Amino acid sequence: MEQQLAALNRRPLHNQGEEKEPESDAKSAVYCLDHANCRFPTIVVFSDLILLGNTIIKDDTILYTNSLTKGFPGTYRYNINICDGKVEEIILQKPAKSAGVVPNFCFGNTVILKEVAYSNFSILKDFTGDIVTKYNEKIPMNAEQCEAVIEFGDQESLIKARQIWEEI
């Protein structure tokens, strides 16, 4: 049994790339979901930002930034309408803005997450728009504001992120 658990713990849960890269972040995440255990919640994070602070992540949570968020939050393509701490609606922002949905999510029901992701696989283009939005329709998600975020998606923001990190 210990050998089986050790082997399971070594299994990567990130997309290491196939011969051909996935067409979108949504399809890449779905490949990772193949390894997600349905008995546990699933956390999906994208690797070009660092969350700082003491945000408590609960099942079914969407993190967001607003004018109170410190650091270098970057820009986000989606925002949310919130009512009583729950996400009512996920909205595409054009152009992207400095306040919005941080692409880090906690899904309390991995079975529903996989159902949503796999049922739409052929048309998936965007993780937040195509998967998170549909999951939120089935299970209303909690909205949690980030205290501080450092985003480093390009060379300019990486330099700023390093400066902020050194000041902390």
Q: Domains in the chain, please, with CATH?
A: 22-167 (3.90.550.10)
pLDDT at 22: 61
pLDDT at 21: 62
Q: Which residues contact 105 (CB under 8 A, 6 or more apart)?
A: 43, 44, 45, 61, 62, 63, 132, 141
Residues 4-56 pLDDT 10s: 434 443 344 544 445 466 678 888 888 889 989 999 999 988 767 788 888 77
Residues 99-128 pLDDT 10s: 899 888 999 999 999 999 999 888 889 999
More confident residue, 3 or 78: 78
Is the pTM above the cut of 0.85? no
Cis amide linkage into residue 140, ω under 30° from 0: no
% pLDDT > 90, the chain? 42
pLDDT at 11: 43
Q: What is the CA radius of gyration of the chain?
A: 17
Could you tell me the CA-to-CA distances from 77 to 37, 64, 80, 136 in Å, in that order?
29, 11, 11, 17
